[in-house]
Amino acid sequence: MGRFSRRVRSKVTTLPSRDKQRAMKTSIEHIRAKIAELEARITDLRIAERELEALDSAPVLLKKLKAKAKQKSATHNEPEARQTVGAAITEVLNRTGALPLAELAEQMRVAGREVSGGTLSNTLQTMKKRGAVKSAGGKWMLPKTRAKRASA
C-alpha cells in the first residue's frame, strides 16, 4: 500500500466499511422486524394460554353438572341410557298388539316410562308419517310386515 496516495488509500479502506454499515443497518432492521414478529407471536400465545386455562376450568364445572345429573337420575331410579319414546311405543305395541291411545299410555306407565299425553300423541303422529305405526278404529298398531317373495 505504500505506492498509493493517502487519498486513494482512504477511498479503498472506506468503501468496504460503507458497505458493511449498510449491511449492518439492513441486518439491524431485519432483526428488529423479526423481534416484532416474535413479540406478536408471544402475545397470541399468551392469549391462547389464557383461553386454554379457561377451558381447563370448564371440565370442573362439567364434572359438577354430570354429578348433579347422576344424583338426579339416581333419585328418579331411571337408567342412564333411556329408550326413546318411539322405541318404547314400538316395544309396547309389539308386546300387546293394537291399543287405543289411553291404554297405550297406561301400558307405557306400567313399563316404567312416564310420558305425557301430548308427547305420546305427537310421537305417534310422527311415527305414522314415517310408516312405523298406523291407526285404525281408534287403535294404534304396528303395520304388518310383508314377507318378500322368494325368487325362483
C-alpha 96/C-alpha 104 separation (Å) is 9
Helices (H) and strands (E) in the chain, counts: 4, 3
Domain contains 19 = yes
**End-of-domain residue from the set 31, 63, 80:** 80
- Decide if 104 is inside a domain: yes
For residue 42, is it within any domain? yes
**Domain membership flag for residue 125:** yes
Residues 124 and 76 in one domain: no
Are 137 and 92 found together in one domain? Answer: yes
**Count of all residues that appear for the chain in the document:** 152
Full residue range of the structural domain in which residue 38 is found: 8-80
pLDDT of residue 25: 79
151 in a domain, yes or no?
no
pLDDT digits (tens, 9 = 90+) for 14-62: 556 777 777 777 888 888 889 999 999 998 888 888 887 777 666 666 6
Is a pLDDT exceeding 60 seen at residue 148?
Answer: no
pLDDT higher than threshold 80 for residue 96: yes
Cα–Cα distance for residue pair 78/42, rounded to 1 Å: 50
* Residue 62 and residue 126 in one domain: no
Beta carbons of 106 and 115 less than 8 angstroms apart: no
The pLDDT assigned to 57 comes to: 66
| Predicted confidence band of residue 84 (pLDDT cuts 50, 70, 90) | confident
Per-residue burial over 72-86, b = 16 or more CB atoms within 10 Å of its CB, e = otherwise: eeeeeeeeeeeeebe
Which residue bears the cell 423481534? 35
> What cell does 119 get?
308427547
* Residue, of 28 and 74, whose pLDDT is higher: 28
